[in-house]
Structure 1
Amino acid sequence: MTKLTETQTIILSAGAQRPDNIALPLPKGLAGAAAKMAVNRMIALGWLQEVDANLRRNEPLWRETGDGHGTTLVVTDAGLLAIGIEPVEANTARMGALRTQTEEPASCTTTESSPAPMPHTLREGTKQSTLIAMLRAPEGATMEAIIAATGWQAHSARGAMSGALKKRLGLNVTSETEDQRGRVYRIKDADRAQA
C-alpha cells in the first residue's frame, strides 16, 4: 500500500468532509506546478477523479476545458479507503440524496418524513475501525497512542475524528485533559452515558 504524504492526507481528508467529496479548494500554498504534480499523482493512484463541474452549483474548477465547461476533482472510494474511511458510508449518503432527487412524491397531500438513517458497516482491520475501538475503550486514547496505532499524523487523526466519526457516523467524540495523560479522546455512547 502506498504511504500517504502530508499533502495527500490533507487533500483527501478535506474532500471527504465536503458535499459530494469535492477535493477543491486545495490547501493554501499548493499551487501551480506543485499542485498539478500532486493531483496528477493522486489521479494515477486512483484517489482522485476529474469529473465535469456543475457550474450551476458553483462547484470549484480544477481546469477549464475550453468549451465553456470545466472539471473539478472528487475523492474516490479508493481515496476514502486510503485515509481509513469506509466508502460504503459515503456512498450511502450520496445514494440517499440521489434517490430523493429522482423519486416523485406519491401524493401532494402526504407529509414528508425524514428517512431512517441506514446502518453503517465498519470493515474490520481498517484504521478507522482501530480508531473507533481505541476511543470506545473506557480509558480512551491519547493523540500519541492514536498516531502509533494508525500511522496517521496528528492533523489527520483529528480530521478523521471530526469528519468521519462525528459528521458521517454521528458518534459523540469528546476530549478532556487528564493530569497524568494529557488530552484524552473518547466516544461517549448514549447507552453508556445513561448507565
Structure 2
Amino acid sequence: MTKLTETQTVILTAGAQRPGNIAMPLPKGLHGAAAKMAVTKMIERGLIEEVDADIRKGDPLWRETGDGNGTTLKVTNAGLTAIGIVPEPMPPANHLLSNVSNLARPVSRPGTKQAKLIALLKAPEGATMEVLIAATGWQAHTLRGAISGALGKKLGLTVTSAKEEGRARVYRISR
C-alpha cells in the first residue's frame, strides 16, 4: 500500500468525496510554496492529475493557463486506491455512444459528421477517401486529421488503411 503523508491523505479523502473527484480546494492553511510542493509530489506519484477546469460549472482553479482558462486537480484511480477506495471499472472501449460523465471519456454525438464518419468506417467494406469526402463535405486533409486525432487519439479507435485491388485506398475501424 502507498505510504501517504497526513496532508496527502486529507487532499485525497476530500477529493474522493466531491463530484468528479475534484481535489480542490486544498485544505485551509496549505498555500503558496507548500501547496505547490505537495501537489507536485502527488502528481509525480500519480495520485492526482491536472485537468482542464470547467469555469462555467464553477470548477475551482489550481492555476490559470494564461489564455482565459485554467486547470484544476482531480484524484486519480491510483489516488483512490491509496486511500482504500476501489475505483469504478471503465466500460468496454466499444461502448462509444454512451454518456460516461464521471470518467470524462470522450463520446461521439449521434447525427454529427463524426458519427457518419465512424459509421462508414465500421462498415465491413470500409470507405474510400472519396466516399468520406462526399459524406462529410470535408477536404482530404481534414478527414485524415479527424481519423488520426478525434478517432484515434481522443476516442481510442484503431483505423487501418489498405490499398485494395481495383479500388482506391480503403479505411476501416478495426474491431
Structure 2-normalised TM-score?
0.52
Instruction: State the Cα distance separating 1:95 from its structure 2 match.
Output: 3.0
Deviations 1:151-187 (A, max 9, x none): xxxxxxxxxxxxxxxxxxxxxxxxxxxxxxxxxxxxx
In structure 1, the partner of 2:48 is 48
| Structure with more relative contact order (C-alpha pairs < 8 Å, separation 6 or more) | 1
Unaligned 5+ runs, structure 1: 105-195
Instruction: State the Cα distance separating 1:68 from its structure 2 match.
Output: 0.6
Compute the RMSD of aligned alpha carbons: 2.4
Structure 1-normalised TM-score?
0.47
In structure 2, the partner of 1:66 is 66
Partner amino acid, structure 2, of 1:84: G
Instruction: State the Cα distance separating 1:29 from its structure 2 match.
Output: 0.6
Partner amino acid, structure 1, of 2:55: L
Write the distance in 1 (CA, Å) between the matches of 2:12 and 2:85: 10
Confirm or deny that 1:79 pairs with 2:84.
no
Unaligned 5+ runs, structure 2: 92-98, 111-175
Cα separation, partners in 2 of 1:86 and 1:32, compared to 1, 3 Å: same
Instruction: State the Cα distance separating 1:67 from its structure 2 match.
Output: 0.8
Instruction: State the Cα distance separating 1:103 from its structure 2 match.
Output: 7.7
Work out the percentage of aligned pairs sharing the same amino acid.
65
The partner residue of 2:100 within 95, 108, 112 is 95
Partner amino acid, structure 2, of 1:12: L
| 1:46 partner SS | coil
Larger fraction in helix: 1
The structure having more radius of gyration, on CA atoms, is: 2
Counterparts of residues 23-172 of structure 1 (less than 5 Å): 23-88=23-88, 95=100
Instruction: State the Cα distance separating 1:58 from its structure 2 match.
Output: 0.9
Partner amino acid, structure 1, of 2:21: N
| 1:43 partner SS | helix
In structure 2, the partner of 1:146 is none
Which aligned segments of 4 or more residues in structure 1 are displaced greater than 6 angstroms? Answer: 101-104
